[in-house]
């Protein structure tokens, strides 16, 4: 009996089709598995970069603060550096790095003014730093009372909530009054940073209707030869009298009176 050649040919063809389908199926599975693996690697790499970014951010703050103390840069340049650094970091990453949710529960609002707590930025492991970092908690309807500084600068990074920020340039001190000029009046929210220098925007006043939290970077005793390591003076803005050129002459008052009126 003659062998029908087409049967063998169909069997070979079917075998080849099965083999091709198996190969394609295996290839698809391998490609899918590789996608999952590489996605996982990408997530891990992103997490590693995220941690590095936060540590680099903190390290750069330390570097610029140390340079300021050494006289290598001005306080104006320090302010610019912090603005630049903060513009390239996500506020969510900062919240995670400092364990903000825990800090919120451990730093209840004060009856007047603000409550504060020390905050450790990542990457330093107890190293002595050129700056101090704190969290400020300002309750609803409360304020960082209007005040100015001597031999001290700082920056407030808003972590949560909104505040009305008012700042003034310090022009001159005259006995128990301070001659100042308005420089900033705006609403700021999470991720915004405001800073002061020894003269520019030196006085600030922050009020909040709903409550707010800030991360503060503080440098005191910038001039180690000064009589005081630092000084803070509170101002009675309601009693400020207009002066020439749009300036204001604001009385300096004690902290108790300032808290009673503005806290």
- We report the CATH number of the domain holding residue 234 as 2.60.120.10
Specify if 124 maps to a domain: yes
pLDDT at 52: 52
Nearest to 58 by CA among 118, 119, 100: 119
Specify if 193 maps to a domain: yes
**Band (156; pLDDT cuts 50, 70, 90):** very high
Query: What is the spatial distance between Cα 57 and Cα 17, in angstroms, rounded to a whole number?
Result: 58
Residue 181's Cβ-side half-sphere holds a number of Cα atoms within 13 Å equal to 10
208 neighbors 199 (Cβ within 8 angstroms): no
Q: Which of 39-48, 83-92, 185-194 has the lowest mean pLDDT?
A: 39-48
Specify if 2 maps to a domain: no
Percent with pLDDT over 70 in the chain: 80
179: β partners: 172, 249
- Count of residues making up the chain: 263
Specify if 15 maps to a domain: no
Q: 27: phi > 0 → left, psi -120 to 50 → alpha, else beta; which?
A: alpha
Q: Is the pTM of this model over 0.75?
A: yes
Specify if 115 maps to a domain: yes
Query: What is the spatial distance between Cα 179 and Cα 235, in angstroms, rounded to a whole number?
Result: 11
Domain range enclosing 212:
51-262
Residue 132 predicted with pLDDT over 50: yes
Cα–Cα distance list, 202 to 31, 44, 154, 173, 234 (Å): 60, 43, 9, 12, 12
Count of the separate structural domains present in the chain = 1
Give the mean model confidence (pLDDT) for residues 195-224: 96
pLDDT tens track for 103-114: 999 999 999 999
Specify if 235 maps to a domain: yes
Specify if 185 maps to a domain: yes
Q: Cα 208 to the chain's mean position, in Å? A: 18
Residue 76 predicted with pLDDT over 60: yes
Specify if 1 maps to a domain: no
């Amino acid at each position: 009996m003659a062998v029908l050649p087409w049967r063998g040919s169909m069997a070979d063809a079917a075998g080849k089709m099965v083999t091709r389908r198996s190969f394609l199926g295996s290839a698809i599975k391998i490609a899918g598995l590789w996608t999952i693996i590489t996605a996982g690697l990408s997530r891990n790499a992103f997490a590693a970069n995220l941690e590095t970014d936060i540590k680099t951010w903190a390290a750069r703050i330390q570097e610029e603060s140390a340079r300021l103390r050494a006289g290598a840069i001005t306080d104006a340049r320090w302010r610019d550096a912090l603005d630049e650094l903060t513009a390239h970091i996500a506020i969510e990453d900062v919240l995670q790095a400092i364990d903000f949710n825990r800090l919120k529960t451990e730093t209840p609002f004060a009856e007047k003014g603000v409550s504060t707590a020390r905050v450790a930025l990542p990457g330093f492991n107890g190293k002595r730093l050129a700056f101090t970092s704190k969290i400020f908690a300002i309750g609803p309807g409360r304020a960082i009372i209007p005040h100015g500084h001597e031999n001290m600068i700082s920056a407030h990074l808003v972590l949560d909530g909104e505040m009305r920020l008012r700042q003034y340039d310090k022009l001159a001190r005259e006995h128990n009054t301070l001659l100042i000029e308005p420089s900033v009046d705006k609403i700021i929210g999470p991720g915004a940073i405001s800073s002061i220098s020894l003269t520019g925007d030196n006085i600030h006043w922050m009020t909040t209707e709903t409550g707010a939290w800030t991360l503060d970077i503080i440098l005191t005793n910038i001039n180690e030869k000064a009589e005081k390591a630092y000084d803070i003076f509170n101002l009675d803005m309601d009693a400020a009298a207009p002066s020439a050129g749009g300036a204001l002459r604001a009385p300096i008052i004690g902290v108790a009176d300032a808290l009673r009126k503005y806290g």
